Amino acid sequence: MTADFIDRIFNIFNILGSLSYGEDVTQMEHILQCSRLAQIDGADDALVAAALLHDIGQFLDEAGNAAEKRGIDARHEVTGAAFLRGHFPPAVTEPVRLHVEAKRYLCATEPGYSESLSGASVLSLRLQGGPMNAQEMGDFEKNPYFHEAVRLRRYDDQGKQKEWDVPPLESYRTLLESLLIPAAR
């Protein structure tokens, strides 16, 4: 079972990861840079895994991806977290589910953050509801994985660097296997 689910994830990334991320990097480069940034930041294994897996929802639903391109928010963070749930604990799935909300949160709370976003992120922000209002910010801060979601968001924003040599997907297999919840092993 263990290997099955990890293989399934790796197959999805290997087949679709060469697609453009809509920035200067491919989807594969983006997720590998995000997990590397998490490691450099001293994140625990769960957050490193969340960084690697945060965009899995983009690869699961062709219709959803097409919708996003047509200007409809397909909520890839929700699709991705639902796919991972039951296999990985909330310390992995919750930051994945919340990484778009974290962008809306930072836009509302951090001066200069919105201006630092890439063109693609600014475009999607509008579809995702724009900056949070006060009520939404209060609710978001109560989530037990609020800090992890914000940290993941920063890796997501920074993981778009051209020609950065980072460890390959396969180097994360053991880490991912160690996080699988026992029933799924």
Residues near Fe ion (CB under 5 A): 55, 156
Q: Is 4 or 152 the residue whose CB approaches Fe ion more closely?
A: 152
Exposure letters 14-46 (e unless 16+ CB within 10 A, then b):
eebbeeebbbebebbbbbbbbbbbbbeeebebb
Instruction: State the nearest-atom distance from the C-beta of 185 to Fe ion, in Å.
Output: 28
CA–CA distance, 23 with 86 (Å, rounded to integer): 32
Q: Is 152 or 180 the residue whose CB approaches Fe ion more closely?
A: 152
Instruction: State the nearest-atom distance from the C-beta of 4 to Fe ion, in Å.
Output: 25
Instruction: State the nearest-atom distance from the C-beta of 3 to Fe ion, in Å.
Output: 26
Q: Is 2 or 114 the residue whose CB approaches Fe ion more closely?
A: 114
Handedness of CA 179, 144, 159, 122 (dihedral sign): positive
Structure tokens belonging to residue 143:
């989530």
Are 71 and 127 within 8 A, CB to CB? yes
Instruction: State the nearest-atom distance from the C-beta of 28 to Fe ion, in Å.
Output: 12
Q: Is 102 or 176 the residue whose CB approaches Fe ion more closely?
A: 102
Q: Which residue is nearest to Fe ion (CB)?
A: 156
